[in-house]
Chain A
Amino acid sequence: MATLLLIEDDPLVRRGFQLALSRHGHDVRTADSGEEGLREFHSARPDLVVLDLMLPGIDGFQVCRRIRAVGDVPVIMLTAMGDDFDVVGGLAAGADDYVVKPAQPSVLDARIRAVLRRSAGHDGVRVHRDLHIDTTALTVSLHGRPVPLSPTELRLLLTLSRAPGRVFSRQLLLEEVWEHDYLGDSRLVDNCVQRLRAKIEDVPAAPEYIQTVRGFGYRFGPV
Chain B
Amino acid sequence: MTKRARAVPSRQRTRELRRTLWPRGLRARLLVAFVLVTVLGAAAAAWSSAGSASTALVTSTQARLAETIAGQIGAITPELTYPPDQESLDRLRAAVGPNTLVTYQNLRSVSGDGTELITDAVRTEVRGGNRLVTQRIVAEGTPWLLVGTPVVITQPDGDSAPSGIEVYAVHDLTDVEQQIEGFTRSAAGTAALALPPAVLLALVAARSVLRPVREVRDTARRLAAGDLDARSPPRGADELAELTVTINEMAESVQTSMAAMQRMQADARRFAADVSHELRTPLSTLTAVVEVLAATADEMAADSRESAQLAITETHRLVRLVEDLMEVSRFDAGSARLHSEEVDVVGAVRDCLRVRDWLNRVELVAPEEIRLRLDRRRLDVIVANLVGNALRHGTPPVRVRVLTSHEQVWIEVTDSGPGIPQRVLPYVFDRFYKADAARTRTPGSGLGLAIALENARLHGGELTADNIDGGGARFVLRLPVSISAP
Which residue numbers of A lie inside 8 Å of B, CB to CB? 10, 12-13, 15-17, 19-20, 23, 80, 82-84, 101-106, 170-171, 181-183, 185-187, 215-216
Contacts and interface: CB of A to CB of B under 8 A. Distances in A.
A102 B330 contact: no
B122 interface: no
Interface stretch (B89-97, B191-199, B333-341): B333-341
A213 to B, nearest CB: 10
A82 B284 contact: no
Contact of B280 (A23, A80, A185): A80
Interface string B333-367: 00101010110000000010001000000000000
Contacts of B319: 102
A17 B292 CA distance: 10
B287 A102 contact: yes
* For the complex of A and B, 4 pairs with smallest distance between CB atoms: A16-B288, A16-B285, A102-B283, A102-B284
Given A19-B292, A23-B295, A105-B291, A80 B373 contact: no
Contacts of A12: 281-282, 285
B287 A103 contact: yes
B285 A13 contact: yes
A105 B287 contact: yes
B266 interface: no
Nearest to A186: B341
Given A80-B277, A182-B351, A13 B291 contact: no
Contact of A183 (B285, B295, B337, B377): B377
A215 B342 contact: yes
B177 interface: no
A101 B319 CA distance: 9
Given A183-B376, A187-B339, A216-B342, A20 B351 contact: no
B296 to A, nearest CB: 9
Given A13-B285, A101-B284, A23 B292 contact: yes
A181 B355 contact: yes
A199 B284 CA distance: 36
Contact of A20 (B283, B289, B355, B377): B289
Contacts of B342: 215-216
Interface string B307-332: 00000000000010011001000100
A101 B280 CA distance: 7
B384 to A, nearest CB: 10
A216 B373 CA distance: 10
Contacts of A183: 351, 355, 376-377, 380
A182 to B, nearest CB: 5
A215 B341 contact: yes
Contacts of A216: 342
Contacts of A170: 341
Interface in B254-290: 277, 280-289
Contacts of A215: 341-342, 373
Contact of A17 (B283, B288, B339): B288
Contacts of B286: 16, 102
Contacts of A102: 280, 283-284, 286-287, 319, 322
Give the residue among B277, B285, B373 with the most A Cβ atoms within 10 A.
B285
Nearest to B279: A102
Contacts of B323: 82
21 contacts: A10-B284, A12-B281, A12-B285, A13-B285, A13-B288, A16-B284, A16-B287, A19-B289, A20-B288, A20-B291, A20-B292, A80-B284, A83-B330, A83-B335, A102-B286, A102-B319, A103-B284, A105-B287, A182-B351, A182-B355, A185-B339
Contacts of B380: 183
A186 B292 CA distance: 31
A23 B294 CA distance: 12
Nearest to B376: A183
A182 B285 CA distance: 25
